[in-house]
Amino acid sequence: MPEIDIDPTTRIEGHHGITLQVDADGTVTEAKSKMEMFRGAEIVTLGRPPSDAPQITGMVCGVCFLCHRFCSSKAAEDAALNAEDVDFGGPPANAVRLRDTVEGIFYLWNHAVHLFALVGPDYSDAVAGTGFDRLDPLEGDGYMAAMANQRKVMKALAEFGGRAPHPVAYVPGGLATRPDVSTIQAVKSRVQEVSNWLGATENVPQVIENVQNGEFDPALGEGLHDIVSIILAAAEAGAADIGQGPDRFYSNGMFEDPESGELFLKRGVYRNGSAEELTKQEIIDGITEDTEYSWYTDDSGGAPTDAKPPEPAPEKDQAYSWGKAPRFEGQSMEVGPLARMTITGLDPFDLRATLGGGAAESNTLNRLIARAQETLVVRDQIMDWLDAIDPSEPFMADDWSDDFTGKGVGLMEASRGALSHYMDIENGEIERYQIITPTIWNLGPRDGSGQPSPLEEGVVGDVVSNVESPLTVLRTIRSMDPCLACSVHVQSPENASKTEVEPVTPSIGGGSCDI
């Protein structure tokens, strides 16, 4: 049976390859999803105080930098809350609101990156001859407008965090700075600019009609026209019939009301045709990681609340990935916007039901639709969340200290899916750390029982009609929004290397320097 290797599969986000077994017609019969570099961020945290962990783990990815920092802070806070003889009462409500609001703003940025830079080109005129030249990478007007608006979002994030990417203001216990009224207003102004470019949610039906008729009305939203173009091009290309996953979904839930504890996007799983809302502890108790086909020792797997930090085993027989295989109650689960929308019961304008074969159907088209839907759903809440932040109330707990012994778990939803950080602290030092990322859930290897990951299952049945340009398979892979930077990270060569960098000296009076 012919074998096809595609490496890399991603455009800008890490080291992922896939090996496909295909039949004589080019139909994929089996796949191995390969994460080909080692992540050691957990190991770096060991022996350090818990307040160091958000800074370290936030650096494992230049894309999901906020969610890792927030999730690590939540793990440290949970450990303090679970510790004995500790007075910590949790972060102030203002800090909870602000973190979630910032992550909501970050969703706008990250979803735009996905839709326009990572997936959009697959449906552009330049790549696929769709006629949608606004989506053409680096040259299309829609592509360039999206890049400009992503910059505005990043500036908004920097207002609160001190810088973006890799902000420094968010710490265990809350926020190390106090945003004033003018800072909040500056963020609102930038978000409003991006919102105006995107267009009002109520305009979606008219924009769909416009795109179908080859019309473009910027007053209804430039961004909406381009996003709808991606969706309709994908529908025309048969994306509803490819990338069919397990129809099982998992979400940690997101956007918490600090008074009621209610989550705007629900926590739970979807399986056997129905959604189940679960408690945090039920989620924690249900998760395990399998390392049968991973380059890690067997005892690096198991329950992430107990397993050791990942121990590499690069010579392991049968292994083919630096990713582990996470499972919920023994089953593979797809994570991401489609999971969140399905578990929360949202399908705005019934787009997935009408275009994607069903609101809960796991396929390449529905993943694109759900991401677009979530962009609008979250955007429509952000101003209310910003209004709820009270600059006169505290943003930082006055009783935070690193000096305690405890175990904690941070759960949240990165834009591309469920994220979990696990932290054990002994006498003020991190003793054990684990991270389970969204991409591991979607693109990990098979487990010891032979159960494939959602991606390995999803590409089966896709057809490789052109080995030089396996666009159908790549569309499926990219629909799952892989980000390998935080799933796998660094692998050192056997031989050490050394590079000396000499700082440049600016020329006097010239305002320039030689590089």
Residues that constitute the known binding site: 42, 61, 64, 435, 483, 486, 489
User: Hey, what amino acid is at 277?
Assistant: E
Residues that constitute the known binding site for Ni(2+): 61, 64, 483
Closest CA to 70 of 114, 49, 101: 101
- Residues 362, 366, 368, 373, CA torsion sign: negative
Tokens 């919920």, residue? 328
Burial string for 282-315 (b: 16+ CB within 10 Å, else e) reads: ebbebbbbbbbbbbbeeebbeebbebebbebeee
Residues that constitute the known binding site for Mg(2+): 42, 435, 489
What is the maximal distance between C-alpha atoms in the chain? Answer: 71
- Residues 157, 163, 167, 173, CA torsion sign: negative
Strands (DSSP E) found in 124-262: 170-171, 174-175, 249-256
Number of other residues whose CB lies within 10 A of the CB of residue 155: 14
Residue 218 phi, psi dihedral angles, 5° rounding: -60, -25
Number of other residues whose CB lies within 10 A of the CB of residue 465: 12
Tokens 């440290």, residue? 76
Residues that constitute the known binding site for Fe cation: 64, 486
